[in-house]
Structure 1
Amino acid sequence: MKGVVFTEFLEMVEDRFSADMVDHIIDDAQVPHGGVYTAVGTYPHGEIVAMVMALSQRSGTPAPDLIRVFGQHLFGRFVLAYPHFFIGVKDAFHFLSGIENIIHAEVLKLYPDAELPKFIVEHHDPHRLVLLYQSPRHFEDLAEGLMRGCLAHFGEPIHIEREPTPTTAGAHAQRFVLTRQG
């Protein structure tokens, strides 16, 4: 997993909790890199999972909730860091339906070794978008958080439903059904 995810997670923990909490979760998680990450480095995803679990234990907040909040935070950071991804994008459905072919294609140019999840558009019309998420890592909550961050960015009232799907070829899968409200 790219280091930018780690650095942003630790920044979110510091902003929402404290610098002391960052130190505590790094100590509790006993991560091999000792909490020292560079944005362009690549690290085992198990390290962020361990830190999330440590934060959950210390804060009393369920890990899935923390991961979704982190996804929202991360989307906001992407908006600031990569404003060119949003030029000409009219709404959340337009953005989300282009994750695989536009966003991930650009990310792979910057980080050729990035191991990205796959988002397959199963249905897209003005009122409904269905995305199939596939990844060898179990980060459906992060994907949902990123989607919620996108919806907040565009200010759209869209309901998200998650439907489990069978795991295929070692990849976790989840279907996200997004429906415009009103």
Structure 2
Amino acid sequence: MKGVIFTEFLGLVEEKWDADMVDDIIDACDLPSGGAYTAVGTYDHQEIVALVVELSKRSGVEVPDLLRVYGQHLFSKLATTYPQFVGKTDSVLDFLEGVENYIHVEVRKLYPDAELPSFETRRLEPQVLEMIYRSSRHLDDVCHGLIEGCISHFNKQGTVEREPIEDGTRFIIRCE
């Protein structure tokens, strides 16, 4: 998993709690990396799992809730860092439809070794999108938060429903 995922997570922890919480969760996890991440480095995704579980224990916030908030935070940070990816449209659903065939193509140019989830999309109605998420990492809650972060970024009103399917998660996004 790319280091930007870790650096942004630790940034969120510092923002929502403090630097001591960052140090505490890193120290408690005994991570192979030692908790020293660079945005372009690659790290075992089990490290982020360990950090999130430890934060949940210390904060009392359930893991799924932490992951959704992290997804929201991550979208905001990525949109700021890579405005060229979000500036092509002002439509949430158009943006989400382009994740697999545009955003992920561009991400692979920047990070050829990135292991990305896959998305299939289908318009059910003009304002309703079905998005199928598949990933060996099963970070469905982060994906949910990323979608919510996208809706917020575009200053739209919308809802996100989800249901597990055999090999992934089906999201239904309704947006103005």
Q: CA deviation at 1:166?
A: 0.4
Tell me whether 1:162 sits opposite 2:162 in the alignment: yes
Question: Which whole-Å CA distance do the structure 2 matches of 1:180 and 1:109 have between them?
Answer: 30
- Consecutive unaligned residues of structure 1, counting only runs of 5 or more, are 168-172
Question: Which whole-Å CA distance do the structure 1 matches of 2:111 and 2:10 have between them?
Answer: 21
Amino acid at match of 1:109: K
Q: What CA deviation, in whole Å up to 9, does each residue of 1:97-153 have, x standing for no partner?
A: 100001000000000000000010133542200000000001000001110000001
Q: What CA deviation, in whole Å up to 9, does each residue of 1:1-25 have, x standing for no partner?
A: 0000001101110111000000110
Residue of structure 2 equivalent to 1:79: 79
Amino acid at match of 1:95: F
- How does the TM-score come out when normalised to structure 1? 0.94
Question: Which whole-Å CA distance do the structure 2 matches of 1:90 and 1:60 have between them?
Answer: 37
Q: How many residues align?
A: 176
- How does the TM-score come out when normalised to structure 2? 0.97
SS at match of 2:174: strand
Q: CA deviation at 1:30?
A: 1.4
Whether contact under 8 Å (2:122, 2:131) holds in the other structure is yes
Matching residue within 150, 160, 180 for 2:175: 180
Amino acid at match of 2:10: L
Q: CA deviation at 1:165?
A: 0.2
Q: CA deviation at 1:180?
A: 2.9
Residue of structure 2 equivalent to 1:138: 138
Residue of structure 1 equivalent to 2:37: 37
Tell me whether 1:28 sits opposite 2:18 in the alignment: no
SS at match of 1:65: helix
Q: CA deviation at 1:157?
A: 1.2
Equivalence map 1:32-181=2 (5 Å): 32-167=32-167, 173-180=168-175
Question: Which whole-Å CA distance do the structure 2 matches of 1:106 and 1:50 have between them?
Answer: 29
Identity in percent: 52
Q: CA deviation at 1:87?
A: 2.3
Q: CA deviation at 1:91?
A: 1.1
Amino acid at match of 1:14: E
Q: CA deviation at 1:28?
A: 1.4
SS at match of 1:53: helix
Q: What CA deviation, in whole Å up to 9, does each residue of 1:51-72 have, x standing for no partner?
A: 0000000000001100110111
Amino acid at match of 1:99: V
Amino acid at match of 1:93: L
Question: Which whole-Å CA distance do the structure 2 matches of 1:112 and 1:137 have between them?
Answer: 18
CA RMSD of aligned residues (A): 1.1
Amino acid at match of 1:76: S
